[in-house]
Amino acid sequence: MKYPYLKNYQPAKDMAKIATIKSEFTNGVKDIIPLIIGAIPFGIIFGSLAMGSGLSFIGTLAMSALVFAGASQFIALTLLAAGTSWPMIVLTTFVVNLRHMLYATTLVPHIKNLGQRWKIPLAFWLTDEAFAVVIIRYQQQDDSPYKQWYFLGAALFMYLNWQFCTLLGLTVGQMIPNMTTWGLDFAMVVTFIGMVMPYLTEKPMWATVVVAGSVALLTFSLPHKLGLIVAALAGIGAGILTDYFLEGVPGK
């Protein structure tokens, strides 16, 4: 048996390496399944709404394949239906997606030694759900050198699920009357709550969430979803200040 992609082939050592890579990839797929369940109705609703907003069948599939950002895709649909110019659509979705910079900054210490052939696809496939499970894996104290395969498994499975759900919405979703009024999009809200709760273990984290949530509500009416960025910055500031004032305080 030969493995042309492995240098200096050593049967026992290389088989162990392959087994470890496989387990990391498989565990990534398994761990993101609960979050994928929450994203399924979101993807189907997007596919159902897209053609009515002015996108073609192929255009809808292309948006999910090339943009792969649920919140931004829904916002783009709304702006398209309203006849908004494309520069404004690009600017608005850019602002909404700025939150991914926070995810990327958190992951940089863990992936900085990877080559570009890893960084580019992982950056493209980075989503809220993928970050939620991947950062937990990276923070686990073990010596596995193949955690990027866990990242790949989780992110790729989410990507394939989003494409499939978009297709379902374009086909089956079009046959179901008033599907968008069923409130299925609430599943995504529940999913995000489930993603956040495990991190609330210290007072600075609680301060971050409470302040960010409050500011998001207060700034909801700001144009182009700028409230999201204001809320994120306010939450980060609150967390940093809380940590600073509690530094050295027992049981903070």
Q: What is the pLDDT of residues 50-97, one digit of tens each?
A: 887 888 999 999 999 999 988 889 888 888 888 888 888 888 888 778
pLDDT at res. 1: 42
pLDDT at res. 82: 81
Q: Are 152 and 25 in contact (CB under 8 A)?
A: yes
pLDDT at res. 150: 96
Domain ranges of the chain: 23-197, 200-252
Q: Which residues, other chains included, contact 115 with Cβ-Cβ below 8 Å and sequence gap of 6+? A: none
Q: Which residues, other chains included, contact 41 with Cβ-Cβ below 8 Å and sequence gap of 6+? A: 184, 185, 187, 188
pLDDT at res. 11: 55
Lowest-confidence range among 47-51, 73-77, 198-202, 227-231? 198-202
pLDDT at res. 10: 55
pLDDT at res. 182: 60
121 or 52: which leads in pLDDT: 121
pLDDT at res. 247: 77
Cα separations in angstroms, 211 against 31, 73, 91, 219, 244: 29, 27, 26, 12, 16
